[in-house]
Chain A
Amino acid sequence: MEFNVLIGGEAGQGMFSVELGLSEILSRLGYPFFATKNYMSRIRGGHNFHMIRISEKPVHALSGKPWDLIVAMDRAETERRHKPFLREGGTFVGPERVGQIEREAKGELQDVTATSAILTGLILAFIGADDAAAQSAAPDGTARRALAMGWDFAARWGLAARRSFAPQIGEHCKLDGNQALALGALLGGCQFVAGYPMTPATSILHYFSSVAEELPVHFEQAEDEIAALNMALGASYAGLRSMVATSGGGFALMTEAVSLAGMTETPVVIIVAQRPGPATGLPTRTEQGDLNFVLHAGHGEFPRVIFAPGSVEEAISLARRAFDVADRWQIPVFILTDQYLADSLQIMEGRVPTKMLKRELPVAGADYRRYEITDSGVSPLTYPGLSEARVEVDSDEHTEDGKITEDRGMRVRMVDKRLRKSEGLRKEAVMPARFGDRRAPTVLVSWGSNRLIVNEAVEVLRAEGISVSSAHFGQVYPLTPQMARGLARKRLICIENNATGQFEQLLRHELGLKATHRILKYDGECFTVGELVERVKGILG
């Protein structure tokens, strides 16, 4: 049993408040849900809509099924766009009914914004939620009264328990993708974040600035993204694990400092939350169009690692790991996410791992050489002021003690030293996550945020008697031959939110894996499970 609701209206009419209020109570009551949104780059007006899927079992994607309930906060646009996709026998709460709710919110509660909480109550009543439990989860007295009014409206309009089911979930946590990345960063020991606001990365910055009130971490709003990454490199040089978060346009400004991180071997984590480009593109929509950009960003040759988490769990674990990898190998590590994962709020089952990465603070002597040549390519790292060791770091090619050099032999030794790290990095690469029957002749290949949409599609196809499996790449660079195991003789269908199949090309180039088909989407919206199932069936015939 599941229930799909869409709440549409103009920016500023309170749809997001419904999503936040509803998701909070659903989580408290133990209903698995998945919520995502489609919004315009404006503060008021236009047309935004929030989609929430509530289910008996955990869900991590939009189903693509017709809506069971549509709530229209606006006069006509929600009805025009979305009512054609209302399930037969589904419920449409239109502007007249919302107007009635608004009038009672004003009359009874002297607060028109309580409309959102009343609608929350109405939706909860619709799925037969326990009203006492829901009210006890409300933040305050007004919200409790508003929720109760929602139940009354549901009863009055004959909507109560229309689609009733019981909460099923045990221990869990409610997270959006950016919150998960920020949490993972904290677990990885991140204490310094610099950034310049840019959708869809901004909430990562908000997270750090808010936790900085209590924790030993700092967020600095930079004058531009150039400054942001340089600040993070300065903080990392001084001894704090550091990070920046931006989107493609901001990352464009950071690229010279990516190269600086490569040359100076300064550990740093860079989150690139993708949105459709080029240039300003579609500022609030989703895409996976910056893989090639991140892969090649920065002049010169130096090692890097790129992660692309496909779930909130993986966002936590890979963000945590990113700091460890960056620190141990003294390289820039990238995390590619996108608006879809960033803005999707969902239930994560089980306990969130809170094990912190511990770090040693190395102390060196007066004869310290920052760029000592070693077998692994990694030189001992220390920080200024800890001892008599001088930490001398240079963007020019340098000697082992960090002085400018133009010596040809030294140049070659330093290039080799830096690139030698790639060997070690390959040994500890994160293998792709496989799902479904491995004997199936077809494998759906994804990277980043499509992972769980693809996995649900695999399940739906299996139920229809079509056997496929999936392979999700949480590490998209470097790719290693071990990653190709079990994929070489399969029919590969590569699924990406871009127009050119960037990962499909990378697979071919790096591993010689040739996908026979691509399923690409680049209209700014995410795939739904239903849509993906149809497109796979279209290929398999």
Chain B
Amino acid sequence: MDRQDIAWCPGCGDFPIRATLEKVLGGLPIPAKDIVLTSGIGQAAKMPHYLPHSYFNGLHGRSLPLAVGIKLARPDLTVIAVSGDGCHYGEGGNHFIHTIRRRLDITILVCDNKVYGLTKGQSSPTTDLGRKNALDPEGNRNAPFSPLAAALTAGAPFVARTFAGDPEHMGKIMREAILFKGPSVVDILQPCVSFNKVNSFAWYRERIYRLDDSLKDRYEAIRLSDDWGERIPIGVFWRDDRFLCREGKQMFRKPVTESAVARLLNTKCIMMR
């Protein structure tokens, strides 16, 4: 694919995310044809167009219900929803909470650049308080959403953070998240070279440090997810290996039979009382 076919700005954090994801997907013990990506709208949501797999690039905020429908219909497929912070946490915020609650084996990747890129520099749900943006000339009045804490309190059994400037770490985390059986959330710190002049590659490099191992306690993970500023932890915050993942039902290629419908005919009326 030519550089000009890709819609991102030169130097965008989405490039290393894409390259790493391509490598990770290629190295999975899963046939390429069985991987399906869903995405919404935004710069990050264009990601599936630049990867060699089936995809459903839907509407803004709606990558997750699409992923839920695909996973329920076809448990044999590996389903990954990839979009940005505006899509997953803003427009699709309700779906973010409830998709986690559905206990399905879906990987949620969030390219979190803390700003709206495609619409040119408005505040996003993760924008810092007081940051001046296109629609906030006096500074963002909203407190930033804490995606990891939200995912943890919604019950996500796998919650991680990684950094677009550290492909090795990012690859390891992505692979672990995809292979984890259950809803997994990976918030990827992604510099936006055009609209976020603060959270640059250099800014992150000065602050991030790797967690050695996932935390043993979910509340400890929630507490740590609040750490932001001089020192920013990346790694697996929480991994619950005892998690009971919901298994979908095999229905594809198993149509309802005529005799089964005939049996239903004299079933009781189930009108709403």
Contact = CB atoms under 8 A, between A and B. Distances in A.
B252 to A, nearest CB: 5
A216 B269 contact: no
Interface stretch (A69-77, A207-215, A436-444, A498-506): A207-215
Contacts of B48: 392
A402 to B, nearest CB: 8
Interface in B243-267: 248-258, 260-262, 264-266
Given A231-B72, A237-B66, A395 B258 contact: no
A216 B252 CA distance: 9
Given A231-B72, A238-B77, A216 B256 contact: yes
A361 B65 contact: no
B57 interface: yes
Contacts of B249: 216, 218
B54 A391 contact: yes
Contacts of A394: 49, 55, 57
A231 B69 CA distance: 4
Given A216-B254, A260-B59, A227 B271 contact: no
B65 A234 contact: yes
Interface string A396-414: 1000001110000000000
B54 A234 contact: no
Given A178-B271, A220-B72, A231 B260 contact: no
Contact of B46 (A202, A236, A238, A404): A404
Contacts, number: 208
B7 interface: yes
Given A23-B269, A220-B68, A257-B59, A384 B74 contact: yes
Contacts of B262: 354
A388 to B, nearest CB: 6
Given A206-B270, A216-B255, A192 B69 contact: yes
B265 A231 contact: no
Given A199-B272, A356-B257, A395-B57, A230 B62 contact: yes
Contacts of B54: 384-385, 390-392
Contact residues of A: prevailing secondary structure:
mixed
B217 interface: no
Given A194-B69, A227-B98, A238-B77, A356 B261 contact: yes
Interface stretch (A183-191, A326-334, A425-433): A183-191
Interface string B56-76: 111100101111111111101
Given A238-B73, A404-B7, A256 B59 contact: yes
A121 B47 CA distance: 67
A359 B273 CA distance: 36
A191 B98 contact: no
Interface string B61-101: 01011111111111011000000000000000011011000
B41 interface: yes
A217 B256 contact: yes
A176 interface: yes
A202 B69 contact: no
Interface in A435-473: none
A534 to B, nearest CB: 30
A183 B256 CA distance: 11
Given A234-B38, A237-B69, A390 B52 contact: yes
B34 interface: yes
Contacts of A186: 256, 261, 264
Contacts of B7: 404
B33 interface: yes
B36 interface: yes
A352 B263 CA distance: 11
A96 to B, nearest CB: 27
A227 B255 contact: no
B53 interface: yes
Given A183-B261, A385-B34, A238 B269 contact: no
Contact of B265 (A214, A216, A222, A352): A352
Nearest to B36: A384
List 4 A-B pairs, minimum CB-CB distance, nearest first: A234-B69, A230-B65, A231-B69, A235-B73
Given A200-B272, A227-B98, A238-B73, 11 more contacts: A23-B269, A176-B269, A179-B271, A227-B64, A237-B56, A240-B74, A257-B62, A260-B59, A354-B258, A384-B33, A393-B57
Interface of B: 7, 33-34, 36, 38, 41, 46, 48-49, 52-59, 62, 64-74, 76-77, 94-95, 97-98, 248-258, 260-262, 264-266, 268-273
27 contacts: A16-B273, A191-B251, A194-B69, A215-B256, A215-B260, A216-B255, A216-B256, A223-B94, A227-B64, A231-B66, A234-B65, A234-B72, A238-B252, A239-B73, A240-B252, A257-B59, A257-B62, A260-B59, A383-B252, A385-B74, A390-B52, A393-B57, A394-B49, A394-B55, A395-B41, A396-B57, A404-B46
